Structures are given as structure tokens and as C-alpha cells.
Structure 1
């Protein structure tokens, strides 16, 4: 099993790769993308992603936002949403399933994609693997590059 700090760093790097390999062509790529995080304290992902020492960068201008709850995704115009495992709940799953706009939702558990999330970065055998909910992926206009998709496992 990977150490928690190492897992956080690997997942955060994957998140930046997801941003780099997303195509917003159908709706036009916004000038600034909002990457929102819904996580409980100590906000390890938000802290790492906003750290000047974090090495993974994107080709887009990203604005990181730490959310208190899912309802803020609309007012903050989140393009990406990461939800840590401790923030998952039946209420969140219901909100994900009711989502009618384009947003790349990323979790860290299989329950997340089973209950309406687009993708999860799941630790398996000392590696982080990408899982994508096939039905959710077909329903959004944002598309992922084949470079990213070739490493993904599909569910649904």
C-alpha cells in the first residue's frame, strides 16, 4: 500500500493530466478553468495543488476553489470537481446524478463512479488506476484524449 502522502501526490498529478488531456471543443475551452475540490480538513489535495512547490502543471490557466458543499459548483462555475472519499454521501450521489451541465467529476473510490461520478483515481496494488463511468462519459460534451483513455478502465 502506498503511503498517504505519496498517494495524494500521485492523485494530484493525475488530476493535472486529466485537465491537460480534456477537450472542451464542443462547448469551447474557457479562458480560465475552475478546478473545485470538495474535501474535508486538512484539505491535503487543495494544499498540494496550490503549493508553489507542486511540480505538475497544466497548459491551462486554473483557478483552484475549495468548496464547502456541492451546491457551490454552480455559482463558482466549476469545470472540474474532485471529491475526496470522506466527502462522499448519499446526498452527494443524488446531486451528481441530477447534474445537467458539463463538469468533469473525479473521485477516489469505486462507489463514486458507481453512483454518478465520471471518474475515480483508485489505489490498487500500490498503483493508482483511472476508472471511468462509460455512461456518464457519453453524456458530457467534454472529451478526454486517447492518450488518457488508453490507461483507463471503463465501468457501466
Structure 2
């Protein structure tokens, strides 16, 4: 009977370990699914911004959406290249170098790690983009305070927008009141 109890305890212990591993796998899978959904929503927002922001006319044949830093979207955002903005096909670029930002109409800053990669302070990068009439979007808390135009945040599992109205107006881009209605407005006054 003792052999049976020892053997039963080993089986029970193994089953407990496997159950725990399975639960960890499921929670990791759930987290990955939530992140995927979050970035699908953000990709949708990026495209829809083009309907509520007006860029000055330019001679480029394409509308260039650039992702700077570590790309959190992966292939989720790739279908955006099948869409267009004012009859210009959208082209998606991912890069680490600041040499190409002048050709972007919209830049998504994955994080402000960019300042280390480019050896430029983030405010300098954002100033360069505002001079080029480039819409900037990002997701770090300091992004909007550093002059970024639209910041994403995740609150209660919902993607929220915050718009830096001063930075947007200074850039020369026109924004629809409809977009302002669905976002929190940051006017340069800390309220966090």
C-alpha cells in the first residue's frame, strides 16, 4: 500500500506541475491575444487619423507611414498598405535611422528609446517632424509632454487617445473637431 501511495503522490505531483504549466501557457496566450487586439486597434486608429487630419499638398506619389523603434505591430499593420490617402497609396516603412523621417507623413514612435538610438533628445526629433508637417503618434507617457501630437494609452483595457493640441497646431496640420471629440486634450499643462 505504501508503494501505491508514493506512486500516487508522484503522479499527483506531475499532474499538478503540468496543470500549472498549462495555466501559465494559457495566461501567456491570453496576454499575447490582448496585445494583438490592442495593436490592431492602434493600427486602425493610425489609418483613421488620415480621415481627420489634413496635410498640406505635396508632390509625393505615396503617403508614407513610418514606424520608428522596435515595431510592436509586426504583420498586424501590413494590410494598411492596401489603402490610400487622397488617392495616394500608403507605404509602410520601419526604420531606426533619423535620415528618412523627412519623407514621412505620419510617424509612430514605438517608444522613446529612439532618443538613445539616434543620439538626439526626443524633443529635437519631434521638432524636426513638426517642421516637416509630419503627424507624430506614440505610446509612452513622456511622448506627449515631449511634443508628440497624439499619444495612445491603455486604460481599463481600452485604447485611449490624448492629443497635444499645441503641437498639432504648431505643425501646420489641420485636425477635425470630430477627432478632438474622442480624445483627451493635452494643452501643455500637467494634469497627471
Decide which structure has greater helix share.
2
Q: Provide the alpha-carbon RMSD of the alignment.
A: 2.5
- The alpha-carbon deviation at position 28 of structure 1 amounts to 1.7
Query: Aligned partners of 1:57, 1:147: CA distance in 2, in Å?
Result: 21
- The alpha-carbon deviation at position 110 of structure 1 amounts to 2.2
Structure 1 residues 3 and 86: CA distance shift in structure 2, 3 A: farther
- The answer to whether the Cα contact below 8 Å between 2:43 and 2:76 also exists between their aligned partners in 1 is yes
Aligned residues: 147
Query: Aligned partners of 2:182, 2:45: CA distance in 1, in Å?
Result: 11
> Structure 1 residue runs of 4+, over 6 Å off?
none
Consecutive unaligned residues of structure 1, counting only runs of 5 or more, are: none
Q: Deviations over 1:75-98 (max 9, x none)?
A: xx1010001126344635132343
- The counterpart of 1:37, out of the listed 49, 54, 67, is 67
TM-score by length of 1: 0.81
What is the 5 A alignment of 1:18-57? 18-24=49-55, 27-28=56-57, 31-40=61-70, 43-51=71-79, 57=83
SS at match of 1:102: coil
Aligned twin of 1:112? 143
Query: Aligned partners of 1:66, 1:98: CA distance in 2, in Å?
Result: 20
- The answer to whether the Cα contact below 8 Å between 2:163 and 2:185 also exists between their aligned partners in 1 is yes
- Greater RCO, CA 8 A, separation 6+: 1
Query: Aligned partners of 2:115, 2:85: CA distance in 1, in Å?
Result: 33
- The counterpart of 1:124, out of the listed 132, 155, 158, is 155
Select the structure of larger CA radius of gyration: 2
